[in-house]
Amino acid sequence: MAKTKTVFYCQNCGAQYSKWQGQCTSCKAWNTIAEELVQKAEKNDWKQSSLTGSTAKRASKPLKVSEIDTSTEARYKTDDEELDRVLGGGLVPGSLTLLGGEPGIGKSTLLLQISIRLPFKTLYVSGEESQKQIKMRAERISSKTDNCYILTETKTQHIFRQIEAITPDIVIIDSIQTLHSDYIESSAGSISQIRECTTELIKFAKETSTPVVLIGHITKDGHIAGPKILEHMVDTVLQFEGDRNHVYRILRALKNRFGSTSELGIYEMLGHGLRQVSNPSEILISKKDEELSGNAIAATLEGMRPLMIEIQALVSTAVYGTPQRSATGYNLKRLNMILAVLEKRAGFRLGAKDVFLNVTGGISVDDPAIDLAVVAAILSSNEDVYIPKDYCFAAEVGLAGEVRPVTRVEQRIQEAEKLGFSTIFVSKYNKLAHKPTNIKVQLVAKVEDVVELLFA
């Protein structure tokens, strides 16, 4: 008879306690500690099956860095340029990737679409849908389903048995909150079950060099459900964002041990699946038939990718006495700083006016290079004078009203030139290696110079 014991876990951070208490001393949350039954069973490890032959070759001895061979560790290309860019070049053998997002955002559709189109043997394990439901979705996405195997199972011991029989190159789990192990006597989705199932998958991935992708649910606060240690255990954490009422989705990396976390992937949700958006500027710049005041285009960077985004501003007289300040997709404190600079250095009286700012496309930008575009959009709305639609901006604004240089300005200029912009405003202190031929680079030193050039 296996011995059982009771352990108390914090449902917020996963901290373990020997008895119940009102407040978690780790995360300081109240009433989050719950009792769970933990069974210490005799584990028949998955690798003690016929998989032992392939994993027993790995020597568990220390090696010098120069002695470690990485020539065979080539990444798995997923045939999805957006996902490969966010991952840093593809799936790394033996890596564990966690994909989180709101319900209905398209997590399962994205991974099923990738698994169908992969040239490798893929095992798609679903604990939420039946095989017929997945088949209906797969037929809508693509007709190529030769290399993808569908398994509807939630017990990890049965999953490893099927992995042993099929020997897939890539394993996808939908979702980690639905799995449960015989070694833990608690319900699926609990702290101990998520930790145990993830540990078993990590051991399998590392010892067989098989990449594993997990889908994770998120809480109402936007965090991945389960213990925070789950995000520490995996190698990569991806976030799939967007509004279910709109067609565009954004994929970004919150953690990546094998690449940058500043990359961005953009998709469009269609009836036959997710379409890769190779030119994000097509969705971030709205199409207009007439010139409108309060709009300005900024050249920003997300990782290695240059983006042209549209900044919209509305300045109006404060009706209720106290001026309102609102920013969507932009730091509100930085907006207040820019308004103070315009009032002090440029002489604009904005203290008694409402100011609303919006970054189109539903993305949030923290690149200081969009400061000058924010200034131009606010002044354009205040003066009710439109900015020509073929003008764009790439510079930071300082507290003294100076226009400061930004990094990789030549890449921003090239992107603006490629998209047909005629003029780009940058700081005169930027060092340019060569002068572009098809776009005019307007060098400015102070905010007053921009005001004179745009609104004189």
pLDDT value of position 71: 65
What backbone torsions phi and psi does residue 249 show, to the nearest 5 degrees?
-125, 145
The predicted-structure confidence for 323-362, as pLDDT tens digits, reads as follows 899 999 999 999 999 999 999 888 888 888 999 999 987 7
Q: Does 103 appear as a known binding residue?
A: yes
Burial of 379 (0-12, 13-18, 19+ CB in 10 A): buried
- Please determine, for residue 202, whether its predicted confidence score (pLDDT) is greater than 90: yes
> Mean pLDDT, to the nearest integer, of 29-46?
68
Give the domain-ending residue among 255, 276, 297: 276
Same domain flag for 189 and 224: yes
Domain membership of residue 185 (yes or no) is yes
pLDDT value of position 331: 93
Domain membership of residue 409 (yes or no) is yes
Helix-helix angle 107-117:131-141, to 10 degrees: 70
CATH number at residue 190: 3.40.50.300
Amino acid letter for position 13: C
Give the domain-ending residue among 257, 276, 295: 276
Pair of tokens at residue 130? 């039946």
Q: What is the DSSP string of 100-164?
A: EE-TTSSHHHHHHHHHHH-SS-EEEEESSS-HHHHHHHHHHH-S--SSEEEEE--BHHHHHHHHH
Domain membership of residue 67 (yes or no) is no
Higher pLDDT, 51 or 130: 130
pTM: 0.70
pLDDT band at residue 187 under the 50/70/90 scheme: confident
Q: Does 294 appear as a known binding residue?
A: no
Highest mean pLDDT among 11-20, 34-43, 196-205, 238-247: 196-205
**Mean pLDDT, the chain, as a whole number?**
84
Q: What is the DSSP string of 156-191?
A: HHHHHHHHHHH--SEEEEE-GGG-B-TTS-S-TTSH
Number of H helices, E strands in the chain: 12, 21
Q: Does 361 appear as a known binding residue?
A: no
Domain membership of residue 70 (yes or no) is no
The predicted-structure confidence for 258-290, as pLDDT tens digits, reads as follows 888 878 888 888 888 888 887 777 667 766 667
Q: Does 105 appear as a known binding residue?
A: yes
pLDDT value of position 52: 38
Give the domain-ending residue among 276, 301, 336: 276
Same domain flag for 270 and 121: yes
Amino acid letter for position 103: P
The boundaries of the domain holding residue 321 are: 283-455
Q: Does 316 appear as a known binding residue?
A: no
- Over 414-432, what HEC string results? HHHHHCCCCEEEEECCCCC
Q: CA-to-CA distance for 338 and 279, rounded, in angstroms?
A: 30
Q: Does 101 appear as a known binding residue?
A: yes
| Count of domains observed in the chain | 3
Higher pLDDT, 415 or 404: 404
Percentage of the chain beyond pLDDT 90 is 39
Same domain flag for 149 and 296: no
Q: Does 436 appear as a known binding residue?
A: no
Q: Does 102 appear as a known binding residue?
A: yes
Domain membership of residue 53 (yes or no) is no
Same domain flag for 384 and 432: yes
Same domain flag for 246 and 343: no
Amino acid letter for position 245: N
CATH number at residue 386: 3.30.230.10
